[in-house]
Chain A
Amino acid sequence: MKVQTETPHPSPLPARGESEHSAVAERNDAQRGELVVERVFHRYISAGREIDVLHDVSFRIEPGHVACVVGPSGCGKSTLLGLAAGLLRPSGGMLRFDGAPVAIGRNPHLGMAFQQPGLFPWMSVRENVAIGLRTRGQTRRDARRIADEFLDTVGLADFRDAYPSQLSGGMAQRVGIARALALRPRLLLLDEPFAAVDAFTRLKLQQEFKALLRLDRPTVLFVTHDVPEAIALGDVIVAMTQRPASVQRIIPVAREDRDRASPAYARKLAETLACLGVTSDIQD
């Protein structure tokens, strides 16, 4: 898989494959864009007590794959994402992307969408998407242009000049995703991005999501509590245990499993739920 260089391109937006090799391309092909989580432990202190959140978590995500992390509430899924984003320093173990350890603080290779959209309320929608590009060195004009393009991709072109307070929950989430995607990240992290919207909007967003990934094919780590969503979107499901969480099982998802009308889907759903300790039928 080829690696995009850091220099911004004039329009139109090129797909990944058209970029040139850089020195990083010398790396082993199998490692490019690969996320490795290696025996990660994490604890934090809350109200004077130490809480073990993650216990010996290990898994690998292939480049360009979407991994959906599912598990019971509060099991540490968001913490895992925070570690992958370099927002937290792991108490033990290591996270590596593309062979290099995830740095604490700034990681230009990644983009993240949070559970709360986290839009800056004093900026317009377009400025919100553009700000990330500006912090990463784009000129104001280029940043706005790119922001407009990605807003168009998520279907919010008409709301460029609106302010976050004027948006619905689903729209704000889409802006958050556009903001992350506009960074052209090689690692995309999503923390239950569709959790705060109603079921209908969620299905719609799920459908749009796959299309959004086709442009750059980043490696995706997607946290969700919604198992059907995980089957719909993931190439692989990482099922976590209760806190302190470790990886229960890694369940691959095939194309035919995504069809909700198929027996394959039902089997995959049952398998995943069983893995999480939930029976898939409700007895009277």
Chain B
Amino acid sequence: MATIANSGAATPAVRLSPRVGAWLLGCAGALVALAVWTLLSQLLAHGGGVINRLPTPLAVARKLVAYAGKDLASDLLASLHVFAVGWLVGAASAALIGLVLGRSDRLGRTFLPIVEAIRPVSSIAWVPLAIVWFGFGLTSKVFLVGLAVFLVVIVYAVDGSRRVPADLERTATMLGMNDRQRFVSLVLPGTLSEVLIGSRVALMSGWGTVIVAELVAADSGLGAHLIAVEQSYDVPAIMATMICFAATGFAMNAAFTWAERRMLPWRHDREREAT
């Protein structure tokens, strides 16, 4: 007696693959945000309160293009230079020190509490001290970035050097490895892979430190440019520079995540993804 009564199909009338749907909604959301932005800038353009200098997205885009044509490359390079050096120094020293402190019980118990106490104090708090010590040049910025990266990676290095999975240890015993062989084949690779992951997590804090260092020192790089255009009240240029900074951070993060997945496919640990 009953025919197939379609009591409300679960699928909508227009069948879109979920990924396309997500894309469309995302674009819609972005467009809405841009529209709100434009609206706000129009509303505030005629003496409407504190933020009376909100340029339209278009104005910012134009400034971005102009900047790209002129100094963007050199500023970006300067900032990246600072970042790269600081990041390498920080990661390398964290790897070394982490390895030592992780493997030696005594040394670890002696010095790790100090590291733990200092860790919450972001390297940004060190900016004035760095400037007193090293002046405004490259050294102070590298020190700050290195410190920021060090503080993040050290945890991963210590963890990695300690946590050789139990079953690998047992296999090593079964195969009759001596201490040196164990170190080379188990501890070192384990530590290095954790250090790599930590280095990727440290990307964002390191890159953020670059900008603060450059904002205070203001001699070269994107941060310096930011201060310069701020002093000339050029809001579109300020926003354009901010976008450059964010885009670079995004690109580095994406590149690193890709590289990490290629090199360490077994270690895609959700816990460790950067906030």
Q: Is A41 an interface residue (CB 8 A)?
A: yes
Q: Is A92 an interface residue (CB 8 A)?
A: yes
Q: Which residues of B contact A45 (CB under 8 A)?
A: 11, 18
CB distance A44 to B10 under 8 Å? Answer: yes
CB distance B10 to A48 under 8 Å? Answer: no
Please tell me which one of the listed residues B4, B18, B19 contacts residue A41 in the complex, with CB atoms under 8 A apart: B4
Q: Interface 1/0s, chain A 29-43, versus B by CB < 8 A?
A: 000000000110111
Q: Which residues of B contact A44 (CB under 8 A)?
A: 10
CB distance B4 to A92 under 8 Å? Answer: yes
Please tell me which one of the listed residues A38, A48, A104 contacts residue B19 in the complex, with CB atoms under 8 A apart: A48
Task: Apart from A39-B3, A101-B7, list 6 A-B contacts with CB within 8 A.
Answer: A48-B18, A88-B10, A91-B6, A91-B11, A92-B4, A93-B5
For the complex, what is the distance from the CA of A88 to the CA of B19, rounded to whole Å?
22
Q: Is B9 an interface residue (CB 8 A)?
A: yes
Q: Is B8 an interface residue (CB 8 A)?
A: yes
Could you tell me which B residues sit within 8 Å of A by CB distance? 2-11, 17-19
In the assembled complex, the CB of B98 is this many whole angstroms from the nearest CB of chain A, namely 35
In the assembled complex, the CB of B15 is this many whole angstroms from the nearest CB of chain A, namely 10
Could you tell me which A residues sit within 8 Å of B by CB distance? 38-39, 41-45, 48, 88-94, 101, 104
Known contacts A43-B10, A44-B10; A94 and B5 CB within 8 A of each other? yes
For the complex, what is the distance from the CA of A104 to the CA of B8, rounded to whole Å?
10
By beta carbon, the residue of chain B nearest A45 is: B18
Q: Which residues of B contact A90 (CB under 8 A)?
A: 7, 10
CB distance A92 to B2 under 8 Å? Answer: no
Q: Which residues of A contact B6 (CB under 8 A)?
A: 91-92
For the complex, what is the distance from the CA of A91 to the CA of B6, rounded to whole Å?
7
22 contacts between A and B (CB under 8 A): A39-B2, A39-B3, A41-B4, A42-B10, A43-B10, A44-B10, A45-B11, A45-B18, A48-B17, A48-B18, A48-B19, A90-B7, A90-B10, A91-B6, A91-B9, A91-B11, A92-B4, A92-B7, A92-B9, A93-B4, A94-B2, A104-B8
By beta carbon, the residue of chain A nearest B19 is: A48
Q: Which residues of A contact B8 (CB under 8 A)?
A: 89, 104
Q: Which residues of B contact A39 (CB under 8 A)?
A: 2-4
For the complex, what is the distance from the CA of A38 to the CA of B4, rounded to whole Å?
8
The majority secondary structure among interface residues of chain A is strand
In the assembled complex, the CB of A64 is this many whole angstroms from the nearest CB of chain B, namely 24
| Contacts across chains A and B counted by CB atoms under 8 Å | 36
Q: Which residues of A contact B11 (CB under 8 A)?
A: 45, 91
Known contacts A38-B2, A39-B2; A94 and B19 CB within 8 A of each other? no
For the complex, what is the distance from the CA of A42 to the CA of B18, rounded to whole Å?
19
In the assembled complex, the CB of B21 is this many whole angstroms from the nearest CB of chain A, namely 11
In the assembled complex, the CB of A96 is this many whole angstroms from the nearest CB of chain B, namely 10
By beta carbon, the residue of chain B nearest A38 is: B2
In the assembled complex, the CB of B12 is this many whole angstroms from the nearest CB of chain A, namely 11
Q: Which residues of B contact A101 (CB under 8 A)?
A: 7
For the complex, what is the distance from the CA of A88 to the CA of B11, rounded to whole Å?
12
Q: Which residues of B contact A104 (CB under 8 A)?
A: 8
For the complex, what is the distance from the CA of A140 to the CA of B115, rounded to whole Å?
52
Known contacts A45-B18, A48-B17; A89 and B10 CB within 8 A of each other? yes
Q: Which residues of B contact A88 (CB under 8 A)?
A: 10
In the assembled complex, the CB of A263 is this many whole angstroms from the nearest CB of chain B, namely 40
CB distance B2 to A89 under 8 Å? Answer: no
By beta carbon, the residue of chain B nearest A48 is: B17
For the complex, what is the distance from the CA of A42 to the CA of B3, rounded to whole Å?
15
Q: Which residues of B contact A92 (CB under 8 A)?
A: 4-7, 9
For the complex, what is the distance from the CA of A94 to the CA of B7, rounded to whole Å?
7
Which among B3, B4, B6, B17 has the highest number of chain A CB atoms within 10 Å?
A: B4
Q: Which residues of A contact B9 (CB under 8 A)?
A: 91-92
For the complex, what is the distance from the CA of A44 to the CA of B3, rounded to whole Å?
21
In the assembled complex, the CB of A39 is this many whole angstroms from the nearest CB of chain B, namely 6
By beta carbon, the residue of chain A nearest B7 is: A94
Q: Which residues of B contact A94 (CB under 8 A)?
A: 2, 5, 7
By beta carbon, the residue of chain A nearest B2 is: A38
Q: Which residues of A contact B18 (CB under 8 A)?
A: 45, 48
By beta carbon, the residue of chain B nearest A90 is: B7
CB distance A89 to B19 under 8 Å? Answer: no
> Closest 6 CB pairs between A and B?
A92-B4, A38-B2, A91-B10, A89-B8, A94-B5, A92-B6
Q: Which residues of A contact B4 (CB under 8 A)?
A: 39, 41, 92-93
Q: Which residues of A contact B10 (CB under 8 A)?
A: 42-44, 88-91
For the complex, what is the distance from the CA of A101 to the CA of B3, rounded to whole Å?
15
By beta carbon, the residue of chain B nearest A41 is: B4
By beta carbon, the residue of chain B nearest A93 is: B4
For the complex, what is the distance from the CA of A89 to the CA of B10, rounded to whole Å?
6
By beta carbon, the residue of chain B nearest A101 is: B7
In the assembled complex, the CB of B17 is this many whole angstroms from the nearest CB of chain A, namely 6
By beta carbon, the residue of chain A nearest B9 is: A91
In the assembled complex, the CB of B2 is this many whole angstroms from the nearest CB of chain A, namely 5
Q: Which residues of B contact A91 (CB under 8 A)?
A: 6, 9-11
In the assembled complex, the CB of A92 is this many whole angstroms from the nearest CB of chain B, namely 5
